[in-house]
Structure 1
């Protein structure tokens, strides 16, 4: 298979394979390992403070010889109204009592103690460290930020979950668009919290291809040669791999979380707003089932900030029912090898499939 294309040439990588920026799973070591395989590593910065972003970028850049991407959240922060304060306090009490009923004692943060990072602060750090690829999700960057990045020769990758979002990204001057299908694990990259577009990736991808001219990366359900080949036929130039790496050597998931992946079933994978306030796909558990049936889900990012301490305590207690394990709809055996080995194996499988199809 001829791997060289718009994506590899624009970024300067060997293969148009992108290691997904999975916040809470991705580590600098995973980014480094992906780069060693000739792929694009993606450092997930989420909504971390600028100082922490700088630390992670430095620790990654020291061991990566080729470009890697940094990924940020474009947060829309709802105004702190009286209604939000009341809802926050009620949700806080509900979640604390729910946790206590299941053996977890946790004190969740008060609303006024929560700090929410403005992504523009992250962009300052990104530019100062001369990062050359930035990807983002949950909306679009403001025009000034886009100009600043372009003035510093940064390639920008946006995320869409609909044709309308793809068009908006292209019109804003975004260089590459990541098309995220409904089957993808983790958070939906939709511009709004709810409702989110409910279109499968292999239906969405060719429609986006018809409406925009920038190169496309596809994310959602890719885990073997056949799914990558299908995405290529439908118009993708890049292929984002996420769930395939959940149990990898470099994954930040703890052993008890990785063990849960060993016996996951199709019916276990759900779309939920319970942990963060935004829709995300993962493995259902006690917390998800309780919250999804309740009125206690705050707007993002307040729900996400509220449940952060809960997840920390649950991890310390190895309680799988109160942590989020994001995973896509494609159920497969999750390898415990290094990210480098997993990606190199996938690349060989794609090349072998291409050879057999040509013959």
Structure 2
């Protein structure tokens, strides 16, 4: 049998293939379709409120009785200083004018209107809802949260983008580490949002494998049997796929975004922090070109919250130049089949 079973047994699934969380693109339906393929679905909760998260968890449980991972952001929240207040006003004004100049009518929020939350309320919600797998990104959980989750039988999956981060996760008692190569689409899981390691996935995976003892999931560039087998040879025992599912039936991406995906060229895929204040890999567009090297980028999560209304307005106008289309470096045909079928085909490809 090709498939390593360490992670499968830990997570309670037949295949150690994980549907990437992809907040904004994945859906409850995608999670449950991944479960039907005997893989692990990931429910992206990001930094939603506890009530919103509980609603999504319960909706998922109505559709599947199989295990799935809840996924949250564990970012540091910068203090609101006078400098940040001043920069927020300037950035809001600049982005509002940029939108107007490009025919997008939008009312951007004031700083006081933004709802910025710590992840701690989500930890409590996950325990209350009896979720047994929690994956997280943007840093590490605090010791108290780790202890509380472990006491309630929750398996913890942390994300690293460097050997240093992997060692921090292992030392704190995290059960499984997801190694995110720089090829991966969407946000970097880096602990430090300013100094972002850009280490190629194969190099990173082999180095992390040499330095830690816990089982490893690999994320970044997996789109067929050959790429999955390559990272298995380097020590991965679990395989996270996201890019492969972006155009699937269950994806929340709109038809115009899926069409843009299918036309993407390799030289258009880049890292940018213009939308959220944290580096993410996606498709270059007019918004990114206007903002990326400017002084109008606030720290995460303030930039992310500020641009949310702009992205929604652009979506309603089907304007691909002002939405964040997150995509990894492995370009493929972006199938619009169901998530279940795409994952089953990947599994068959590996077993040939």
CA distance in 1, matches of 2:98, 2:118: 31
CA distance in 1, matches of 2:195, 2:143: 25
Give secondary structure in 1 for the equivalent of 2:194.
coil
1:204-283 equivalence runs, <5 A: 204-283=204-283
Q: Report how many residues are paired.
A: 352
CA distance in 2, matches of 1:328, 1:22: 12
- Residue 116 of structure 1 deviates from its aligned partner by 1.0
Matched, 1:31 2:21: no
Equivalent in the alignment of 2:290: 290
CA distance in 1, matches of 2:195, 2:147: 30
- Residue 105 of structure 1 deviates from its aligned partner by 1.0
Equivalent in the alignment of 1:356: none
- Residue 3 of structure 1 deviates from its aligned partner by 2.2
Give secondary structure in 2 for the equivalent of 1:31.
helix
More off after superposition, 59-68 vs 76-85? 59-68
Equivalent in the alignment of 2:45: 45
2:291–2:297 Cα contact (<8 Å) kept: yes
- Residue 274 of structure 1 deviates from its aligned partner by 0.4
- Residue 107 of structure 1 deviates from its aligned partner by 1.0
CA distance in 1, matches of 2:38, 2:346: 12
Equivalent in the alignment of 1:101: 101
Equivalent in the alignment of 1:303: 303
CA distance in 2, matches of 1:171, 1:38: 31
2:269–2:282 Cα contact (<8 Å) kept: yes
1:46–1:72 Cα contact (<8 Å) kept: yes
Equivalent in the alignment of 2:200: 200
Equivalent in the alignment of 2:327: 327
Query: Residue by residue, what CA displacement relative to the aligned partner does 1:234-289 show, whole Å, maximum 9, x if unpaired?
Result: 00000000000000000000111111011100011010000000000000100001
RMSD, aligned α-carbons: 0.6
2:77–2:118 Cα contact (<8 Å) kept: no
CA distance in 2, matches of 1:122, 1:322: 30
Runs of 4+ that moved beyond 6 A: none
Give secondary structure in 2 for the equivalent of 1:62.
helix
Give secondary structure in 1 for the equivalent of 2:196.
coil
CA distance in 2, matches of 1:329, 1:230: 16
2:68–2:133 Cα contact (<8 Å) kept: yes
- Residue 194 of structure 1 deviates from its aligned partner by 1.3
1:11-22 equivalence runs, <5 A: 11-22=11-22
2:42–2:70 Cα contact (<8 Å) kept: yes
Equivalent in the alignment of 1:312: 312
1:3–1:14 Cα contact (<8 Å) kept: no
Task: Give unpaired runs (5+ residues) of structure 1.
Answer: 353-359
